[in-house]
Structure 1
Amino acid sequence: MANSLAGKLLVAMPAIGDPRFAHAVILMCSHDEEHAMGVVINRPKEELTLSEVMEHLGLPTKNEIALNAVLDGGPVAQDRGYVLHSDDFTAGEATQEIAPGIRLTATRDVLEAMSGKNAPHDFVLALGCAGWGAGQLENELKHNAWLIVDPDKAIIFDEEHEAKWTRAIRALGFDLSQLIGSEGGRA
């Protein structure tokens, strides 16, 4: 698809109107005429750490990543894990290239690597994803629900979740005060 948003960040406008996506930053993983799918990258799940997920799966956790947050990746497939990671790990056909230097793996392979010596340098685990049917995302874009931003590894992988929405908007050269209805925005 010529106008695919795969690999881009979608940043919710202040007046998006859907509380599930208020101040959301989504890394788009796929987008074609039939569907779109992305992972919310700025919503840590309350009181859930990577070590708890790994323990549930029977995998050891290295101390340096044990307290990493697990993200709420979106309202679809909340029981499924999606690992966004740097390009120094691959699980063959189970790994999808999202943008230069950024990949997605949604199989146990990446979690096993994270518990051992072959962990990707950068990674984040999200449970669930955001999904749209044919034409749904395009309609939301026509109604100015989202800003489109080039991917930034620092925004995707760092732990400063509260600041990601503001940083993504600033990456476009906007100040929050320039956005209509931004009175509820985070500074």
Structure 2
Amino acid sequence: MSDATSLRDHFLISMPHLQDRHFAQTLTYICDHSEYGAMGIIINRPAGILVHDLFEHIELDYSRVAIAPTPVFNGGPVHEDRGFVLHRNDGRKWLSTYAVTAEISLTTSMDILESLAVGEGPEQFLVALGHAGWGPGQLEQEMRDNSWLSCPANSDILFRLPAEERLQAAAASLGVNLQLLTAHAGHA
């Protein structure tokens, strides 16, 4: 798969007719996409817990810094017991980091959470439990089936907008109002 056809560093915008309980009304950031499949993180579905709740659960002391009430996200139905941190690159190295782009990385090692707990982590980050995954050709077929719209990712949408505004903001970047789209797919 060429870089021109890869959806890495793109948003997947679920179409209104997509009824899958894991992906209905979601915005997913694609971290990797190749002939072997695709992997992404849903970025607009809060898990109902905050980052400091996660720190308590994994017994990280965060008492030395004031942590804003930051949600943890349901990143997808794969490996829901694992943590994934999307963050802006700031030059620091973590034990298990994948550079999605020169600007954005995905880290899965505990050292980034330990740094966040003491106020020394990346300034812009998103913590998710689980991820979304597609086998070879699966995402391409779902795109042909009109399950998704895609657009280049935008780090302001990813890190700065409230979760409930992200889906429509990504659609608006394409000039699309999701409320005006029909919930029924059709093919001419």
Say yes or no: TM over 0.5: yes
Q: Compute the displacement of 1:58 (Å).
A: 2.1
- Following the alignment from structure 1 to structure 2, what is the Cα–Cα distance between the partners of residues 100 and 25? 22
Q: What RMSD in Å do the two structures reach over aligned CA positions? A: 1.7
- Following the alignment from structure 1 to structure 2, what is the Cα–Cα distance between the partners of residues 89 and 127? 24
1:112 aligned counterpart, secondary structure = helix
- Following the alignment from structure 1 to structure 2, what is the Cα–Cα distance between the partners of residues 23 and 80? 23
What is the letter of the counterpart of residue 63 of structure 1?
A
- Following the alignment from structure 1 to structure 2, what is the Cα–Cα distance between the partners of residues 78 and 92? 21
Q: Compute the displacement of 1:118 (Å).
A: 2.6
Aligned to 2:143: 141
Q: Compute the displacement of 1:92 (Å).
A: 4.8
Structure 1 contact 74–130 (Cα < 8 Å) conserved: yes
Q: Compute the displacement of 1:93 (Å).
A: 6.2
1:88 aligned counterpart, secondary structure = coil
Aligned to 2:130: 128
Aligned to 1:106: 108
Aligned to 1:54: 55
What is the letter of the counterpart of residue 67 of structure 2?
E
Aligned to 1:64: 67
2:182 to 180, 183, 187: 180
- Following the alignment from structure 1 to structure 2, what is the Cα–Cα distance between the partners of residues 102 and 80? 19
- Following the alignment from structure 2 to structure 1, what is the Cα–Cα distance between the partners of residues 128 and 94? 20
After the TM superposition, which residues 20-59 of structure 1 pair with which residues of structure 2 at under 5 Å, given as runs? Answer: 20-46=22-48, 48-59=49-60
- Following the alignment from structure 2 to structure 1, what is the Cα–Cα distance between the partners of residues 60 and 178? 42
Q: Deviations over 1:113-156 (max 9, x none)?
A: 11234310100100000011111111100011111111111211
Q: Compute the displacement of 1:178 (Å).
A: 4.6
1:99 aligned counterpart, secondary structure = coil
Tell me the TM-score normalized by structure 1. 0.89
Hey, which of these two has a bigger chunk of helix by percent?
1
Q: Deviations over 1:93-112 (max 9, x none)?
A: 62112234211101101111
Any stretches of 5+ residues in structure 1 without a counterpart? 183-187
What is the letter of the counterpart of residue 141 of structure 1?
M
Matched positions, count: 180
User: Structure 1: which 4+ aligned runs deviate by more than 4 Å?
Assistant: none
1:4 aligned counterpart, secondary structure = coil
Q: Compute the displacement of 1:22 (Å).
A: 0.9
Any stretches of 5+ residues in structure 2 without a counterpart? none
Structure 2 contact 52–67 (Cα < 8 Å) conserved: no
What is the letter of the counterpart of residue 84 of structure 2?
Y
Tell me the TM-score normalized by structure 2. 0.88
Structure 1 contact 91–105 (Cα < 8 Å) conserved: no
1:118 aligned counterpart, secondary structure = coil
Q: Compute the displacement of 1:163 (Å).
A: 1.3
* Identity level (%): 37
Structure 2 contact 42–75 (Cα < 8 Å) conserved: yes
Aligned to 1:153: 155
- Following the alignment from structure 1 to structure 2, what is the Cα–Cα distance between the partners of residues 159 and 83? 17
Q: Deviations over 1:14-62 (max 9, x none)?
A: 111312211100000111112211000000012x111111122221223
Structure 1 contact 99–151 (Cα < 8 Å) conserved: no
